[in-house]
A and B are shown apart, each in its own frame.
Chain A
Amino acid sequence: MNTLFDKIWDKHVVQIVEDGPTQLYIDRLYCHEVTSPQAFDGLRSRGLKCLRPQQIYCMPDHNTPTHDQDKPIVDPVSKKQVDTLAKNCEEFGLTHYGMLSPDNGIIHVVGPEKGLTLPGMTIVCGDSHTSTHGAVGAVAFGIGTSEVEMVMASQCILQQKPKSMRITINGKLGKGVVAKDVALYLMSKLTTSGATGYFVEYAGEVIENMSMEGRLTLCNLSIEMGARGGFIAPDNITFEYIKGKEFAPKGDEWDKAVEYWKTLRSGDDAVFDKELVFDGNDIEPRVTYGTNPGMGIGISESIPELQSIDEAGQASFSKSLSYMGFNAGEKLLGKPIDYVFLGACTNGRIEDFRAFASVVKGHKKADNVTAWLVPGSWAVDRQIRQEGLDIILQEAGFAIRQPGCSACLAMNDDKIPAGKYCVSTSNRNFEGRQGPGSRTILASPLVAAAAAITGVISDPRQFL
């Protein structure tokens, strides 16, 4: 009771269906090309329009190639999906940031950077990483395509109210430990289902001192613990980040908005369904060894032994290690790798590129490594060039590609070949996620950069 989640959720309740779900009003719907076409089809077959087209923003990101975006997409099926979104937006009167538009990028990068994502909002998208937007203090969650259609038709969604959890992280993060490591640490503590059924509020000293980009990364990964969403109460870091953005309130409206946003905090008497407390000093740079994001270790640690896994989970654990080509009990430090991927809605923001550049500066990319550096949006790309990071990266042997989801889920050409290892700043290490047979090791931009210049899994702290 009296949690920030309750405050935002309850304000948006249109009605509670008897013995059923809540009808929740949605302030913002984001759509990309993969999970929307069938929703538009549904509207057409029912003869419906979008109820509030001005609250819907669309852009292609999953299929977009990361090179030669000025040329037609070669894969005809990808091209059709991207073209279908453009056509649907025109037909239904929705804002569309198409490929090569200076506003295009990964939807979860673009929303916050344009000020479309604001504190106190309810935000949904047909994409599980919609949780990202919680970083500014919004209730944001991923939905299926039927639910996308529901929101298009009614600007509402029917949902059971989730339970609330607060995760407090006290203390300070050590050198080379960043938001991604915090998230990977939480996933391995909670497992990929530990927060299922909950909305998570992140709090504590570590969070208060975390940059907006870091908060976006942390909230992005809430779904990987099973949580529907995760969010952080807005504070001065949030307001500074939003101020001046294209869609942020201006003038008197801004002052009024900030006044309201300052009330968006859990009360001192707030009661959560579950509370967990961790110490930031316990976290070191992390890597995953298995095929779900909860299968992770500190970079100096060893993969667990089979006996330490509960019986019902042993078959999945063994299948996972055999897929990855690793053995129980061994360390990952020093293992050779083949690819490095910097990007995705998880780590495709300016701070991630700054972190990567800080490690590789003055070094050279290892010869055995293919590196794909993919900004999350054109705005990130412009910032990279403005700060001269492109020069540092180029001197170290790295090229910058064009924005999109890219090798996070390999719907475009950026596929990791079967059997190859990729140290990836993305969000999922599932079997085949980065291409059939690909082997993903999830890590922070710092760990990815250290691997890129050494050619093996390395502790980034030696380069800082």
Chain B
Amino acid sequence: MKQKFDVITSTCIPLPLENVDTDQIIPARFLKATDKKGFGENLFRDWRYNKDGSLKPDFVLNDPSYSGVILVAGKNFGSGSSREHAAWAIAGYGFRVVISSFFADIHKNNELNNFVLPVVVSEEFLQQLFASIAADHKTEVEVNLPAQTVTNKATGATEHFEINAYKKHCLINGLDDIDFLLENKDKIEAWEQQNK
């Protein structure tokens, strides 16, 4: 899971729907595993497969003209349940980046904790990107984490995106929060002494 980040250039998979909730990303009946493996197979399960397990040809993941490690989704992506299984499914499918104009809080943290980068862009940039991808399914996007920029290569449009310096450092160096917290055990005990 701990994958180091730098610059990612890839074609995209577009999902121009708003309020995509984590129940759609991974339905509850697939949350019964006790490990983190295999969730990618059930990513967007009920949009992707018919009841009999056959593919729904209209869904974007089943359209071979689209590919890539960047998912582009409408605003308020990842709302609803806190299930980290949604982030495991996105990472497990092979996505490294999700671009949207707005993310739900808990899901955004879950992506970051699984080395999937949520990139928040303006609604205008997002809609232009959807249009570029619709016109040419092979449209590439460059996501440059060190520079904190995202570029639509079809139009050349570039935006700066926000990420806190601590999390950026973690992603670039493949570190997680537990590594950090364990180094700070004395501070935890000091807090307890003071407040108990």
Give the B-binding residues of A (Cβ under 8 A).
Answer: 11, 14-15, 17-21, 23, 25, 34-35, 37-38, 41-42, 46, 48, 51, 62-63, 77-78, 80-81, 84, 126-128, 130, 142-147, 149-150, 153-156, 158-160, 162, 192-193, 196-197, 223-224, 226, 228, 292, 312-313, 315-316, 319, 409-411, 418, 428, 430-433, 436
Using A146-B176, A192-B79, A432-B27 as known contacts, say yes or no to A160 and B187 having CB atoms under 8 A apart: no
| Contact with B84, one of A48, A145, A155, A431 (Cβ below 8 angstroms) | A145
Contacts of A81 in B (CB 8 A): 32, 34
Shortest beta-carbon distance from B104 to chain A in Å: 6
CA distance A356 to B195 in the complex (A): 44
CA distance A316 to B75 in the complex (A): 11
Asked whether, in the complex, the Cβ of A77 is within 8 Å of the Cβ of B195, the reply is: no
Asked whether, in the complex, the Cβ of A228 is within 8 Å of the Cβ of B46, the reply is: no
Contacts of A142 in B (CB 8 A): 82, 106
Asked whether, in the complex, the Cβ of B164 is within 8 Å of the Cβ of A20, the reply is: yes
Contacts of A192 in B (CB 8 A): 19, 76, 79-80
Contacts of B16 in A (CB 8 A): 315
Asked whether, in the complex, the Cβ of B165 is within 8 Å of the Cβ of A18, the reply is: yes
* Sample of 13 A–B contacts (CB below 8 Å): A17-B180, A25-B192, A37-B35, A41-B35, A62-B31, A77-B33, A144-B82, A145-B85, A226-B79, A226-B104, A312-B18, A313-B18, A433-B28
Asked whether, in the complex, the Cβ of A431 is within 8 Å of the Cβ of B32, the reply is: no
Asked whether, in the complex, the Cβ of B123 is within 8 Å of the Cβ of A15, the reply is: no
Closest to B108 in A: A196
Asked whether, in the complex, the Cβ of A312 is within 8 Å of the Cβ of B188, the reply is: no
- The B63-114 residues at the A interface (CB cut-off 8 A) are 74-76, 79-85, 87, 102, 104-106, 109-110, 113-114
Asked whether, in the complex, the Cβ of B164 is within 8 Å of the Cβ of A160, the reply is: yes
Contacts of B185 in A (CB 8 A): 51, 154
| Contact with B181, one of A35, A153, A430 (Cβ below 8 angstroms) | A153
Closest to B180 in A: A158
Shortest beta-carbon distance from A31 to chain B in Å: 13
CA distance A128 to B28 in the complex (A): 14
Asked whether, in the complex, the Cβ of A428 is within 8 Å of the Cβ of B105, the reply is: no
Asked whether, in the complex, the Cβ of B167 is within 8 Å of the Cβ of A127, the reply is: no
Query: Known pairs A144-B82, A224-B80, A316-B19. 7 more at Cβ < 8 A?
Result: A41-B34, A51-B185, A62-B28, A144-B84, A144-B109, A158-B181, A226-B105
Shortest beta-carbon distance from A61 to chain B in Å: 13
CA distance A17 to B164 in the complex (A): 10
Query: How many residue pairs at the A-B interface have CB separations less than 8 Å?
Result: 189
Contacts of B31 in A (CB 8 A): 34, 62, 411
Interface status of B140 (Cβ within 8 A of chain A): no
Question: Which 8 pairs between the two chains have the least Cβ-Cβ distance?
Answer: A20-B166, A19-B165, A146-B113, A144-B84, A37-B34, A144-B110, A154-B181, A142-B82
Interface status of B36 (Cβ within 8 A of chain A): yes
Closest to A162 in B: B105
Asked whether, in the complex, the Cβ of B18 is within 8 Å of the Cβ of A146, the reply is: no
Contacts of B127 in A (CB 8 A): 312
Shortest beta-carbon distance from A283 to chain B in Å: 23
CA distance A315 to B73 in the complex (A): 13
Asked whether, in the complex, the Cβ of A153 is within 8 Å of the Cβ of B178, the reply is: yes
Asked whether, in the complex, the Cβ of B84 is within 8 Å of the Cβ of A15, the reply is: no
Asked whether, in the complex, the Cβ of B187 is within 8 Å of the Cβ of A15, the reply is: yes
Using A143-B106, A193-B104 as known contacts, say yes or no to A35 and B28 having CB atoms under 8 A apart: no
Shortest beta-carbon distance from B59 to chain A in Å: 12
Contacts of A21 in B (CB 8 A): 164, 166-167
Contacts of A18 in B (CB 8 A): 165-166
Contacts of A431 in B (CB 8 A): 23-24, 46
CA distance A456 to B59 in the complex (A): 34
Using A156-B188, A315-B16, A315-B17 as known contacts, say yes or no to A147 and B28 having CB atoms under 8 A apart: no
| Contact with A196, one of B35, B105, B123 (Cβ below 8 angstroms) | B105
Asked whether, in the complex, the Cβ of B18 is within 8 Å of the Cβ of A316, the reply is: yes
Asked whether, in the complex, the Cβ of B188 is within 8 Å of the Cβ of A80, the reply is: no
Using A11-B195, A37-B34, A193-B76 as known contacts, say yes or no to A292 and B19 having CB atoms under 8 A apart: yes
Interface status of B21 (Cβ within 8 A of chain A): yes
Using A144-B110, A315-B17 as known contacts, say yes or no to A38 and B36 having CB atoms under 8 A apart: yes
Contacts of A37 in B (CB 8 A): 33-35
> Most chain-B Cβ atoms within 10 A of its Cβ — which of A196, A430, A433?
A430
Asked whether, in the complex, the Cβ of A19 is within 8 Å of the Cβ of B182, the reply is: no
CA distance A329 to B88 in the complex (A): 39
| Contact with A147, one of B76, B109, B184 (Cβ below 8 angstroms) | B109
| Contact with B21, one of A38, A156, A292, A312 (Cβ below 8 angstroms) | A292
Contacts of A34 in B (CB 8 A): 31-32, 83
Contacts of B32 in A (CB 8 A): 34, 63, 77-78, 80-81, 411
Shortest beta-carbon distance from B132 to chain A in Å: 16
Asked whether, in the complex, the Cβ of B84 is within 8 Å of the Cβ of A35, the reply is: yes
Asked whether, in the complex, the Cβ of A430 is within 8 Å of the Cβ of B80, the reply is: yes
CA distance A340 to B75 in the complex (A): 32
Shortest beta-carbon distance from A375 to chain B in Å: 21
